[in-house]
A and B are shown apart, each in its own frame.
Chain A
């Protein structure tokens, strides 16, 4: 079997991509209007939605960057993982029920739609839509680049595609992504998420079992090796220190309820009462898949320190080298396909919320009405967004990484800081005001962008994301307390009391 390693891995990835294409074709028949395209007809069951939720949370960043972070800074990065259960709990308590009720009551198809209804303000809608578009471009570009780099690594190991270029890999992987997103919209997205989520869970468990066998003493021996090298790396705050760790604890914990690609999915379930099952299933799925993040990172760092393998040229190589050296070809095939699954499940969700912001929310905020024939334009804009993001990805790789890095600053942390107060608190506190919402969004964007542009590195590993999140929370509540709350429509007023 070892002799066919490359063929098995390539076969698994090709099989997975074919599945995505077929799902797109299947979902196209079920996508008849913009409600189907953006909201999957609000008819998803609990299993589908929980798998879609957690697989969209754990992106390529989690599957590639996560183990790389453990390799690089040790336990510090565990905080992004261990806080997930609290993050999901906050998200479900504060957002899941109300956003679903309002979406049905007012026929909302996007997060800015919800904000506009809640605050009766087109300015809040516009600001939120613009934040989403900027963040989506950064996220998508990094995801597409990651997808292409992994594909290049796989295909260059075969005789036929030994010299394949990055541009070709960007074109192939983006074409598959665009195809199923354009044809099947959110329906294709969530049903591919189901398989993607399942693959990620299986990969997480199998990788843990493999990682436990690398050292004779299992994970305990691996962590002892790291501890003997440096007293802090294997301790709770890792090499990056306590404030960096707490920054991730804050931003990834509370911030989960501010991620547009996740919160939007909370509007899609068939029955509100399914939420009681979706929460524990999502947490369980995430924990299983995240085992890969922790186990590969720990074992790879220990293996290098122990002299078992040579040092990695870049930390992000941790997964691919682990699979090459320590896993059997079948597992490598499953994990590489799982890796594509992780990247694509996040990319398709972002593509969808970005398209909704462009064709639905921005025109509505500016002209007062949305464009006609939304479904047609949704498909066109999905292609345009993906092509722009792919171009950003290639530009950042070959010319200048600043652009994507800047847009990347509008990633998880900016979404957390700008959307969490406005949506999560705003849906639970009638005292939240338009002024509070505007100040929170603007301050979050300004602080994150300034820290990134000016290249500021605060001491003790404090991140710009943490500073902006705390600031936006204080400003949102503070400004709301001193400004008059908007008058709520009767139905919305009652909905906020349920």
Chain B
């Protein structure tokens, strides 16, 4: 597969993902409206909102929303791959990115399942100050991008800007400056 085709495949993936997300948005916009879907005012404190019945607000749009979130995580990872020049993408990179995607989706799944478990049982554990589900969000979502940041920093010369890229750019620059003169 040529480098050009690889980018075409990624763009097609991004396009399909965005189309699906658009369709999900349309579905949710047209779903049965739940009063507390976007929050309701707190009965006692005027500056606060509350969510109310958690299971009720997920009744019509829960699954499409979860899928929307998973697709967004997929999109973030794919955009990072698009930022790596096609000729630099190798098997190891794809494996690394796949593992990052699986890790991020695992965090997403854990957050949702902990939330649903709490809504059904009314019981939750705590981790570093937050209820389990929110702890997955707070720490998990934040940290699930660390592999991507590490890939950029540690793999910079291999996947982002190699020594030969630097030489080629300097040559381009020199040529451009001499043309200007």
B49 touches A431 (CB 8 A): no
Cross-chain contact B111 with A246 (CB below 8 angstroms)? no
List of A residues within 8 angstroms of B144 by Cβ: 86
Q: B residues near A, CB below 8 A?
A: 4, 7-8, 11, 14-15, 18-19, 21-22, 25, 28-29, 31, 33-34, 36-39, 42, 45-54, 57-58, 61-62, 65-66, 68-69, 72, 75-76, 79-80, 82-85, 87, 111-112, 115, 118-119, 122, 124, 126, 129-131, 133-134, 136-138, 141-146, 148-149, 152-154, 156, 160-161, 165-166, 168-169, 172-173, 175-176
Say yes or no: B50 contacts A470, CB within 8 Å: no
Please tell me if the beta carbons of B160 and A275 are within 8 angstroms of each other in the complex: yes
Tell whether A232 pairs with B161 under 8 Å between CB atoms, given A223-B131, A311-B46, A431-B8.
no
The interface of chain A, by Cβ under 8 A from chain B, is 71-76, 78-79, 81-86, 88-90, 92-95, 97, 101, 104-106, 218-220, 222-224, 227, 229-244, 246, 249-250, 253-254, 272-273, 275-277, 279-280, 283, 287, 294, 301, 304-305, 311-315, 424-425, 428-431, 458-462, 466-467, 470-471, 473-474, 477-478, 481, 491, 494-495, 497-498
- Contact in complex: B57, A241 (CB < 8 Å): yes
A328 to chain B: closest CB distance in Å?
22
Given A86-B145, A93-B83, A219-B129, residue A236 in contact with residue B115 (CB < 8 A) = yes
List the B side residues contacting A478 at CB < 8 Å.
15
Q: Is the CB of B115 within 8 A of A94?
A: no
Name which residue of chain B comes closest to A84, CB basis: B142
Could you say which residues of chain B place their CB within 8 Å of the CB of A424? Answer: 79
B134 touches A491 (CB 8 A): no
How far is it, in angstroms, between the C-alpha of A244 and the C-alpha of B40 when the chains are bound? 13
Q: Which partner residue on chain A sits nearest B39 by CB separation? A: A239
Q: Distance in Å from the Cβ of B14 to the closest Cβ of chain A?
A: 7
A238 touches B51 (CB 8 A): yes
Q: Are B129 and A276 in contact (CB under 8 A)?
A: no
Contacts of B79 in A (CB 8 A): 90, 93-94, 254, 424
The residue that A460 contacts in the complex, of B28, B87, B152, with Cβ under 8 A, is: B28
The reply to whether A240 and B38 form a contact with Cβ atoms under 8 Å apart is yes
Given contacts A240-B38, A242-B61, contact A85 B137 (CB under 8 A): no
Min Cβ gap A454→B in Å is 15
Cβ–Cβ contact B72 & A253, under 8 A: yes
CB-based contact A232/B153 at 8 Å: no
Shortest beta-carbon distance from A212 to chain B in Å: 8
